[in-house]
Structure 1
């Protein structure tokens, strides 16, 4: 059975992106075409691309301070990194991704969208150089493992924003020993967005 590639945005989506709405629509189109053809997302994700992925990411952008540096670890097809970079032209985004085929896709998308605030780094988190005001990851690994990889990238005074689902409280409890060993003391679980399923973020402040 054929799967629809229609990506009609829901009401209110344009307001979340503001002046960059045209770029957001173009990114959705690229995900539903290039992204599917090249295995970045599954074809069955296309009808729910906005609700489950793009809006899920963009609702977190008000949490980002003005002009910060951000690293999206294991960005894959650019979620949330490209969504954040589109919605917030003031931030400097580094997309960290080890797989060449994903990096190639990201390079083509960034060029197509004309994004000047994005750098693509073909690297694992453990090998990524530098530190960032904000580090994020979505659907990469359990919190204990993710924090081990990402914490060295968080600059003093910075924050790790781990995008999680409803299992966030359980992941935090399971990660407590690791968080103590890393010296993470400020741990919060926040929700963002007036969505059917709000976006859950575990916030670890350095």
Structure 2
């Protein structure tokens, strides 16, 4: 690891690994990071009391039970996010700027944090879905000459793919996971 690399970042020697595999690996690594961040955000929200979990579920294997449970909860929150956003946004809008008691102000602030967290979970998982389908497309580009070439050929004028790359390159926590070669490839595709 050099000063340019964060933990987990590595320059893939594309002369020894087919380019499509290197590109697919990059996109999968990015997707896994977003899912990991979503799970960490969910756990913070549970620990802070913004989200209460009641009941139990059975999962296919004990080894993955924590991840499966987190993904189950995240997917349910996302499925319900439209209703949550509508209900809570109306409440927030109605009470914004009103004189509130200390207890009401605390509840109001916690509610705002919860709504923002649900929006962030939604964004992270949407970006992860984009990366998943993009990795599938990149895996079919056996004629691509390098990661940059494959990213460029598979971005397909899809604005959300560009948005995901911009998010990764501009987010300091995500950026440290990328090698200098990967950063340069992404910047080139973005025209930065």
Give the TM-score normalised by the residue count of structure 2. 0.26
Could you say which structure has the higher strand fraction?
A: 1
Structure with higher helix content? 2
Which one scores higher on RCO, CA 8 angstroms, separation ≥ 6?
2
Task: State the TM-score, normalizing by the size of structure 1.
Answer: 0.25
Larger radius of gyration, structure 1 or 2?
A: 2
